[in-house]
């Protein structure tokens, strides 16, 4: 398989951003881990980060012809972006939503996700491991869909 990992706003600052909440690993560390995990599961992993909503929408559109699934941490856009949700619904690629922090034990405004209702599922609260678990879950799902 080939899957696209999307990182939303402020995730480029991982490692230095609120380390008490998000830990000390950097986005480059996470991307490397996912590429290695993908290799061990015969899956090509591409990664993209943007602080701009429209750039994430464009990347989702372009994924349609290149990838079989999406793994997304939309950051704060999780809680605000109808546009990103609509883009995922439009391309209809199987999508797993991930968060480093457990969004349900944080502020009320983080409890709602626009993406969750159109995702296969969500993994939240396991730090960088949320991404690895999400990638595994996405690949397992894609296997069940492939004859």
Does residue 78 interact with ligand DQA by CB under 6 A? yes
Q: Which stretch binds ligand DQA (CB under 6 A): 38-46, 47-55, 94-102, 136-144?
A: 94-102
Judged by CB, which is closer to ligand DQA: 67, or 99?
A: 99
Interface pick for ligand DQA out of 36, 66, 76, 90 (rule CB under 6 A): 76
- Stretch of 37-45, 47-55, 93-101, 133-141 lying at the interface with ligand DQA (CB under 6 A): 93-101
- 94, 67 in Cβ contact below 8 A? no
Q: Is residue 22 flagged as an active site residue?
A: yes
Decide if residue 103 touches ligand DQA (CB under 6 A): yes
x-or-dash pattern for ligand DQA, window 15-54, by CB under 6 A?
----------------------------------------
Would you say 68 or 114 has its CB closer to ligand DQA?
A: 114
Between 69 and 134, CB nearer to ligand DQA: 134
Tokens of 26: 């950097």
Residue whose CB is less far from ligand DQA, 10 or 136? 10
Compute the least distance from the CB of residue 145 to ligand DQA, in Å.
Answer: 26
* HSE (side-chain half, CA atoms, 13 Å) at 33: 16
Tell me which residue of 74, 105, 80, 84 sits closest to 11, measured CA to CA: 74
The two three-digit tokens of residue 43, written as one number: 């899956």
Q: What is the DSSP string of 24-77?
A: S--HHHHHHHHHHHHHHTT-EEEEEE-S-HHHHHHHHHHHTTT-SEEEEE-GGG
Q: What angle do CA 9, 140, 131 make, to 5 degrees?
A: 25
CA neighbor of 43 nearest in space, from 70, 62, 7, 80: 70
Annotated active-site positions, please? 22, 99
């Amino acid at each position: 398989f080939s899957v696209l990992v999307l990182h939303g706003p402020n995730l480029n600052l991982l490692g230095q951003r609120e380390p008490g909440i998000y830990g000390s690993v950097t986005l480059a560390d996470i991307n490397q881990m996912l590429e290695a995990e993908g290799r061990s599961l015969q899956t090509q992993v591409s990664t993209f980060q943007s602080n701009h909503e429209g750039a994430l929408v464009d990347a989702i559109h372009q994924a349609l012809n290149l990838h079989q699934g999406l793994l997304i941490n939309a950051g704060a856009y999780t809680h605000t972006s109808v546009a990103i949700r609509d883009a995922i619904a439009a391309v209809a690629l199987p999508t797993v939503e991930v968060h480093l922090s457990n969004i349900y034990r944080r502020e009320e405004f983080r409890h709602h996700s626009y993406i969750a209702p159109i995702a296969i599922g969500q993994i939240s609260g396991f730090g960088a491991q949320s991404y690895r678990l999400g990638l595994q879950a996405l690949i397992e799902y894609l296997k069940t869909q492939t004859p």
